[in-house]
Amino acid sequence: GMGGVGKTTLAKSLSNSICDQFECACFLFNIRKISDQEEGLVLLQKMLLSELLGEEKIKVRSVEKGITMIKERLRVRKVLIVLDDVDKTEQLKALAGECDWFSQGTRIVITTRDKYLLTSHEIEKIYQMKLLSDPESLLALLLERLQNDKAQSEL
């Protein structure tokens, strides 16, 4: 869906509500922005592996080596992966190329503005965000503000 409709917020909420059903979970934010940097895809692969394996010093020398590591190391783990703001097929291929990379029960949630990107990657279950009406938008904004205020007061 288009920018600003709440894809990331919905993905965060979904991730928080189901993450305890998995061995581990990883939420990669701003994939479009990070992958535009030099070695951005390699950095994203390192972040993914580090988060899911609980290892800080993961060395990934190239996208191809990262793909091999993801396949070998995550094939035996039931994981939840959220890929936020994906805008290129190469990002999907580098981070979640094929179903056989992952254990049965693994779930991958992808947010994108480009539905074609998902269909071209043969993703079958696609949820299209609907725009909120003005009153719904105001209510969502107020609820978000209340949650933020509550979180601040708890610190």
Q: What is the pTM of this model?
A: 0.82
CATH 1.20.210.10 for domain 7-130, yes or no, is no
**How sure is the predictor about 4, in pLDDT bands with cuts at 50, 70 and 90?**
low
Joined together, the tokens standing for residue 155 give 């610190």
User: Given a cut of 80, is residue 73 above it in pLDDT?
Assistant: yes
Q: Say if residue 98's pLDDT is above 60.
A: yes
Q: Among 72-81, 107-116, 118-127, where is mean pLDDT lowest?
A: 118-127
Short-list 85, 104, 107, CA closest to 15: 107
